[in-house]
Chains A and B, each alone.
Chain A
């Protein structure tokens, strides 16, 4: 599904006089359909940066990101083709960010339903499925029409996850999906992700919480600060 070759990222901060900050050194790995690759490592070792390079939020400094797209065939995401990237994000690749980016004045159920609407599902059906998913993630019906800006961190995170899994992307990138969740919610989320895995979605996920990681990851890539020592176990 995804083959990463020699990916690295450095940042050049002009407003600090051109200071160069290394995000991470060369990494290479493959992820097959239905496989979950965990990214582990200390804070600042570049785990989120790897995900952001794949998603196009960061421009890779070196490397190739070969993605087996259903609509475009085998493409190198690092090519910088904006239209291709927008279409892949819309139809095939999802991203669960660490923090919910709140769109103001949109109800929780609509935030979750939006990807389905974008892909052509009828509005009522989309909202119904969104409600069902929110209930499964133990967000009570009373909150479905409320605005997520006022939710707790854990509730916001569950909205984020719901929004990404509802449309069953082929490749899902997860940045700390269980960080703010209690044990019970974590298990529900892992359950959801396992179902998605069964259906063939590939996933790359960052977890600080080893228990969750071990419950779902098939392989783990250890990131170490900026050096070449990245190990696959």
Chain B
């Protein structure tokens, strides 16, 4: 089966770069800063695949490049090098490197096939616009035009994410943190994305709220069979949600494999350190 999303050699350098660190970044033992020109390696030569309906975890310490990777896939930053292919037929013809397309085209692909949930709801939502309005905004970007259909879809999604429908016209600024995350999830799902990007979505939430958000994600994933990339530094979240996992350090992937293998038979030194640090 062909992968849904293929990423090859994705690199993001912050700085001018030089022959030592271009195009794929510096060797891993130099950390994530080029010793010659001081350029920072956000992502260095990252390659991954995700298949339809699969949940891929990305784990690593703060600053390892996990969020940068997700933002690059979401076309939020301009990559320094690399290729991204989406193999789903209609939205993007096969073999076309999406990173070489115009930003208009990228936004089009993004609004038709992707959804993203950020750690900080302020990044994913407009706090002064109603929750229903936030969802409507995404639907409009995906091409929906009929107002009553938009409203019905928004109400449907809010119910799914257990937000009381009576509060649909209230701005998320009035909601608790957990509710704000659930509005983000509703918004991210509104266009029936094939790939859902979850960037540290439960970090900072208290335990019972985290539990509820995770249960929601698990149930939605099973029901809708969406492919997901779950970024977290919480190994428990990764273990619960993901079948395969990538371990990142200094912007590179140091190990990848089935989640249970990563946790029980870690091969790389850094992975072993990470796993043995679990509480």
State the total of A-B contacts with C-beta under 8 angstroms. 44
- Chain B residues whose C-beta falls within 8 Å of the C-beta of A82 in the assembled complex: 244, 257-258
- Chain B residues whose C-beta falls within 8 Å of the C-beta of A105 in the assembled complex: 211, 215
Question: Does the CB pair B258–A86 fall under 8 Å?
Answer: yes
What's the Cα separation between A52 and B276 when bound, in Å?
19
Question: Does the CB pair A59–B211 fall under 8 Å?
Answer: no
Question: Does the CB pair A11–B269 fall under 8 Å?
Answer: no
Q: Which of A23-42 contact B (CB under 8 A)?
A: none
What's the Cα separation between A118 and B221 when bound, in Å?
12
- Chain B residues whose C-beta falls within 8 Å of the C-beta of A183 in the assembled complex: none
Question: Does the CB pair A86–B243 fall under 8 Å?
Answer: yes
| A contact residues, total (Cβ < 8 Å) | 19
Question: Does the CB pair A15–B258 fall under 8 Å?
Answer: no
What's the Cα separation between A212 and B115 when bound, in Å?
52
**Residue B261 at the A interface, CB < 8 A?**
yes
Q: Which of B204-224 contact A (CB under 8 A)?
A: 211, 215, 222
Render A105-116 as a binary contact track against B, CB cut-off 8 A, 1 for contact: 100000000000
- Chain A residues whose C-beta falls within 8 Å of the C-beta of B54 in the assembled complex: 86
Q: Which of A51-71 contact B (CB under 8 A)?
A: 52, 56-59
Question: Does the CB pair A57–B269 fall under 8 Å?
Answer: no
Question: Does the CB pair B269–A58 fall under 8 Å?
Answer: no
Question: Does the CB pair A85–B265 fall under 8 Å?
Answer: no
B115 to chain A, nearest CB (A): 23
What's the Cα separation between A15 and B269 when bound, in Å?
7
**Given A85-B258, A86-B258, A104-B211: A57 touches B264 (CB 8 Å cut-off):** yes
What's the Cα separation between A57 and B264 when bound, in Å?
7
- Chain A residues whose C-beta falls within 8 Å of the C-beta of B268 in the assembled complex: 14
**Residue B272 at the A interface, CB < 8 A?**
yes
Question: Does the CB pair A59–B261 fall under 8 Å?
Answer: yes
Question: Does the CB pair B211–A117 fall under 8 Å?
Answer: no
**Residue A83 at the B interface, CB < 8 A?**
yes
- Chain B residues whose C-beta falls within 8 Å of the C-beta of A20 in the assembled complex: none
Render B58-99 as a binary contact track against A, CB cut-off 8 A, 1 for contact: 000000000000000000000000000000000000000000
What's the Cα separation between A56 and B222 when bound, in Å?
23
**Residue A103 at the B interface, CB < 8 A?**
yes
**Residue A211 at the B interface, CB < 8 A?**
no
- Chain A residues whose C-beta falls within 8 Å of the C-beta of B215 in the assembled complex: 105
Residue of A14, A15, A58, A103 near B261 (CB, 8 A) is: A58
Residue of B51, B222, B265, B267 near A83 (CB, 8 A) is: B51
Q: Which of B242-270 contact A (CB under 8 A)?
A: 243-244, 257-258, 260-261, 264-265, 267-269
B129 to chain A, nearest CB (A): 32
User: Chain B interface (Cβ within 8 Å of chain A)?
Assistant: 1, 51, 54, 211, 215, 222, 240, 243-244, 257-258, 260-261, 264-265, 267-269, 272-273, 276
User: Chain A interface (Cβ within 8 Å of chain B)?
Assistant: 11-15, 52, 56-59, 82-83, 85-86, 103-105, 117-118
